[in-house]
Amino acid sequence: MGSYREQGIVLRSYKLGETDRIVHLLGQRHGKVRAVAKGVRRPGSRFGGRLETFSHVDLQLYEGRNLDMITQADLIASHAEVRTDFAASAAGSVMVELVDAVAQEGEHDHALFLLLRAGLQALDAGPDDPAVFVDAFLLRAAGALGFRAFTDACAVCRRTGRHAFLSVKAGGTLCPDCAPTGTRAVDAEVVDVVALLAAAGEWASLPGSARERPQAHRTAASYVRAFVEHHLDRQLRSYPSVPRA
């Protein structure tokens, strides 16, 4: 038992007793952390508003028998813009919902941490259409968890090329030989969009791409949702709240 430091991003929190909250965070070193913030709901609490959802904080924690205790929290990035803008907040909610569902306690996942931080940073600027950042985040998160969508090869026989058949179950594009009868063929543009959404680190070009090829983005977005819900085996409750053009 003792105290330790961690930095993390607040995923959600809920009331405990009269004045406390249980806070879920994605920690940079410890994976998911569930900890108690005592007195956080009292006016003038020492935590101020620093433990709000989306906040990136530097923490001092004390190990408890069941839940750890947050003894100090300093802000690294508040992401207040994401909380105050309706569309950005809805988009951010999908990101933290997925992370809260898949991150494991005591399991360091640096790729997921960096992805969440980048996703929230992309929303900080108050983009007109934050839905495209949700699509990219979901596909990249699935990739970080071991479910990478094939866009440059057939997901079954691995023959390289831009194939026209797109399958949720098989995990990406399929060549004509491997596509089961009834598999839907899509425009090459849709596969290009899925590839762009999956490309690590690529955020800046997403809004422009969504403006230029709205139909391909709509098709790709429904593919991404189905892909993530199938392979991660869960429904994303907050997904329908994200405004879509």
Give the footprint of Zn ion on this chain (CB under 5 A): 154, 156-157, 175, 178
| CA–CA distances in Å: residue 103 to residues 40, 55, 81, 158, 220 | 24, 17, 25, 30, 25
Which of 88, 156 has the CB closer to Zn ion?
Answer: 156
Beta carbon of residue 181, minimum distance to Zn ion (angstroms, whole number)? 14
In the structure, how many helices (H) and strands (E) does the chain have?
7, 7
Which of 142, 156 has the CB closer to Zn ion?
Answer: 156
Note whether 8 and 116 are within 8 A (CB). no
| CA–CA distances in Å: residue 140 to residues 30, 125, 150, 176, 181 | 21, 20, 12, 26, 29
Which of 133, 165 has the CB closer to Zn ion?
Answer: 165
SS3 content of the chain, % helix, strand, coil (to 5): 35, 25, 40
127/90 Cα distance (integer angstroms): 12
Which residues fall within 8 angstroms of residue 61, CB to CB, at 6 or more apart? 3, 4, 5, 6, 33, 35, 68, 69, 70, 71
241/245 Cα distance (integer angstroms): 13
Which of 188, 200 has the CB closer to Zn ion?
Answer: 188
Which of 111, 157 has the CB closer to Zn ion?
Answer: 157
Beta carbon of residue 143, minimum distance to Zn ion (angstroms, whole number)? 20
Which of 11, 154 has the CB closer to Zn ion?
Answer: 154
Listed residue (213, 229, 216) closest to 168, CA to CA: 229
Which of 99, 175 has the CB closer to Zn ion?
Answer: 175
Beta carbon of residue 97, minimum distance to Zn ion (angstroms, whole number)? 34
Beta carbon of residue 160, minimum distance to Zn ion (angstroms, whole number)? 10
Note whether 13 and 53 are within 8 A (CB). yes
**25 phi/psi in degrees, rounded to 5:** -130, 155
Beta carbon of residue 150, minimum distance to Zn ion (angstroms, whole number)? 10
Beta carbon of residue 142, minimum distance to Zn ion (angstroms, whole number)? 21
Beta carbon of residue 27, minimum distance to Zn ion (angstroms, whole number)? 41
